[in-house]
Chain A
Amino acid sequence: MAPPLYIAIRFITSRKRSLFFSMIGVVCGVAFFICTQAQTRGFEKYFIETVLGSSGAIVLSDRFQPRYTQFENIDTSGLVAGNQQSRKYYDGITDPYRIIRVARSFSNVLGAAPVVRGNSSANSSFQTEIVRLEGIDLRYHLEATSLKDQIIFGNIDEFRLHPYAIMLGSLLADKLQLKVGDTLTLAGKDPKAENKTFTVAAIFRSGVNVVDENRAYLHIKTAQSILGKPSDASIIIFRLRDPQRAPQLAEQFERLFNHRARSWQEREQGNLQIFSTLRVSAAITVSLIILLAGFGIFNVLTLTVLDKLREIAILRSMGYHRSDIRSIFLWQGFIIALFGSILGCAFGGLLTYGISLIPLRIRGIIYTDHFIVDWSWEHYVYGSLIAFVAVLIATYFPARRAASVPPVDILRGAGQ
């Protein structure tokens, strides 16, 4: 063991009370950092998973045709093409299965499903509601979404086998007071046409309120007939291996297919910004706690340097270098940061677990009955990293001061 490390350990363990107070700040700072990040990130991840599971990472919708305006004299350097962003949109997607076949050649695409969308009036024996109908090709839809996992009542095979089966969002089923096996009628687009009767095959819960209280799934052909949609699909939803890369792929899809493509990040920008703001705000608050712990350590070590002036002079008189003295104090900071981080990570993990057990009923943009936490190793690494930076900065100045102490001044003073 290097002599400065050995001396640092002996110095630090001989002052147990100072060590305790220095370390407790780091432990609490790291633990609170982990805990707050686990909560904010947990809710954010749950929201993202829910969004991806219900609406896909990318949604391809209306076809467009770029409209090029005349060349305009923009600047003196020459003529450039004018507003290329101007587009003419055509409702829906024709030949969605060909697009899906091409899109599947992209390594990031795990699944794609065509959807026919439209609104209709649903009548149960008790209630009438406007519902958002989604006509799906079940085989494709199960590959592209988490629908199978979202079923809370009924059986997806019942839906598969019957052309006039329907799946309702849990909140919509509540509003219409329907359960699995009940029937409802849907009004077609043509007011003269007869209403069609559907049997509730399953009830699903996506976790997103707006989906669960409005959405109903039918077979795609049935939906086309009811909604009178001429196009083969209104949208195609894509499931990706790496959803984080959705914006880049959406851009590629737009260029390739000439259809509007929106990533989940673009669609949910508002909600994501709220989560991101909360996370940054929590991180700043807790980093301030760690910074305060750093100030505490700075004070303790500054007092230690003053307290150990004589020892520093003795060590210098015995041949210890200035760098050895600096190392002794830096090692003390390192030891506090190391053990503070380890204990902080353990305490943070325990706190996070405890919080995940707290009952919390949320029925808003997400659906949960308890605190949602995220068990990400990154929170532990970042918490420890912040602690190390704060502690080592707090240690550096007292260490530098200790190294610059002229031993002769101390010895001369102590001898008188």
Chain B
Amino acid sequence: MSHVIEPCLVCENLEKYLGEDENRVHVLRGVSLTLEPGLVHAVVGPSGCGKSSLLYILGLLDNPDEGSLRIGSHQVATLQDEDLSDTRNELLGFIFQFHFLLQDFTAGENVMIPMRRLGNLTIPEMQERAVSLLEAVGLGSKATRPSRHLSGGEQQRVAIARSLANNPNVILADEPTGNLDTANSERVFSLLTKLVRENAKALLLVTHNPEIAERCDWVHEMRDGLIIESRPGSNIS
């Protein structure tokens, strides 16, 4: 008996224009992508090819001008702003290049921010989960430390823990290692892929780093708003 794996995210023929009139740029020209649980996808390409635009549309932070997007069972085209926010909170995790932690908050509080919005757990349960997520990224002992007192690598690991706070199906990462040294890049990437594979999440990674891209399950190369090539990474079995 065959077992069909339901994709976490499916987008078809996404189109996006930026700017007005003569400055209008066609940044996405019909991008289609399917993210399955447990797999790591990398999107590579030169600056301005539409990688970030694609990521923001998949992350429901921006609307496509054409095309369809489904996250889990949600067809997002019909959702209102508040429903999009709720979907983002429940089903998506973001990791940014510059970690984007709330500097005045402790590491633990940063991890708890998405949980507070979801409101499924009590405060002690949230604290417990935040500590366990921080332990998973090797920062269990620094849960109460203000995030501005952490190093760059540590802050990015807190951002990874935060992206997993509400146990999302899809994690979207915009150059998560772009601002780190080689050792920290290696550590963050290994951690991310391990967590994704162990917890059956889908990870879409935008990166300029060819070594990291090659270690992903799938590599999608973008140019001028199009995915011109999708191929398995060197890690694919």
- Residues on A lying within 8 angstroms of B by beta carbon are 3, 6-7, 10-11, 14, 310-311, 313-324, 407-408, 411-412, 414-415
8 tightest CB-CB pairs across the interface, nearest first?
A: A319-B89, A14-B104, A3-B116, A319-B88, A408-B61, A408-B62, A318-B114, A314-B100
Chain A nearest Cβ from B51, distance in angstroms: 11
Report B-chain residues with C-beta under 8 Å of the C-beta of A322. 81-82, 85
Report B-chain residues with C-beta under 8 Å of the C-beta of A321. 81-82, 85
Name A's interface SS: helix
B61, A411: Cβ atoms under 8 Å? yes
Q: Name which of A316, A318, A414 has the most chain B CB atoms within 10 A of its CB.
A: A318
Chain B 58-81 interface mask (CB, 8 Å, partner A; 1/0): 010110000000000000000001
Chain B nearest Cβ from A403, distance in angstroms: 11
Contact of A317 among B94, B104, B175 (CB under 8 A): B94
| Contact A318-B89, Cβ < 8 Å, known A10-B104, A408-B62, A415-B98 | yes
Contact of A319 among B97, B100, B105, B118 (CB under 8 A): B118
Chain A nearest Cβ from B44, distance in angstroms: 16
B127 interface residue per 8 A CB criterion:
no
Report B-chain residues with C-beta under 8 Å of the C-beta of A311. 102
B52 interface residue per 8 A CB criterion:
yes
| Contact A319-B61, Cβ < 8 Å, known A6-B116, A14-B104 | no
Interchain residue pairs with CB less than 8 A apart (28): A3-B113, A7-B113, A10-B105, A14-B104, A311-B102, A314-B96, A314-B102, A317-B59, A317-B61, A317-B88, A317-B94, A319-B85, A319-B86, A319-B90, A319-B114, A319-B118, A321-B81, A322-B81, A322-B82, A324-B117, A408-B61, A411-B61, A411-B96, A412-B52, A412-B56, A414-B98, A415-B97, A415-B175
Chain A nearest Cβ from B107, distance in angstroms: 14
B109 interface residue per 8 A CB criterion:
yes
Chain A nearest Cβ from B54, distance in angstroms: 12
Report B-chain residues with C-beta under 8 Å of the C-beta of A412. 52, 56
Chain A nearest Cβ from B28, distance in angstroms: 14
A320, B85: Cβ atoms under 8 Å? yes
In the docked arrangement, what's the CA distance between A321 and B104, Å? Answer: 21
Nearest A-chain residue to B174, judged by Cβ: A415
B52, A10: Cβ atoms under 8 Å? no
In the docked arrangement, what's the CA distance between A407 and B59, Å? Answer: 11
Chain A nearest Cβ from B135, distance in angstroms: 21
B56, A411: Cβ atoms under 8 Å? yes
In the docked arrangement, what's the CA distance between A266 and B175, Å? Answer: 81
| Contact A415-B117, Cβ < 8 Å, known A10-B109, A11-B104 | no
Report A-chain residues with C-beta under 8 Å of the C-beta of B97. 415
Chain A nearest Cβ from B158, distance in angstroms: 12
A415, B114: Cβ atoms under 8 Å? no
Report A-chain residues with C-beta under 8 Å of the C-beta of B166. 319
In the docked arrangement, what's the CA distance between A371 and B89, Å? Answer: 61
Chain A nearest Cβ from B123, distance in angstroms: 8
Report B-chain residues with C-beta under 8 Å of the C-beta of A314. 96, 100-102
In the docked arrangement, what's the CA distance between A408 and B61, Å? Answer: 6
Chain A nearest Cβ from B15, distance in angstroms: 16
Report A-chain residues with C-beta under 8 Å of the C-beta of B98. 414-415
Nearest A-chain residue to B93, judged by Cβ: A318
Contact of A414 among B85, B94, B100, B117 (CB under 8 A): B100
In the docked arrangement, what's the CA distance between A412 and B96, Å? Answer: 10
In the docked arrangement, what's the CA distance between A310 and B103, Å? Answer: 11
Report B-chain residues with C-beta under 8 Å of the C-beta of A317. 59, 61, 88, 94
B100, A310: Cβ atoms under 8 Å? yes
| Contact A415-B61, Cβ < 8 Å, known A318-B113, A321-B82 | no
Cβ < 8 Å to A, chain B residues 92-151? 92, 94, 96-98, 100-102, 104-105, 109, 113-114, 116-119
Nearest A-chain residue to B179, judged by Cβ: A415
In the docked arrangement, what's the CA distance between A81 and B87, Å? Answer: 79
In the docked arrangement, what's the CA distance between A3 and B126, Å? Answer: 13
In the docked arrangement, what's the CA distance between A411 and B94, Å? Answer: 11
Chain A nearest Cβ from B101, distance in angstroms: 8
Report B-chain residues with C-beta under 8 Å of the C-beta of A3. 113, 116-117, 119
A320, B117: Cβ atoms under 8 Å? yes
Report B-chain residues with C-beta under 8 Å of the C-beta of A313. 100
Nearest A-chain residue to B59, judged by Cβ: A317
In the docked arrangement, what's the CA distance between A89 and B118, Å? Answer: 82
B56, A408: Cβ atoms under 8 Å? yes
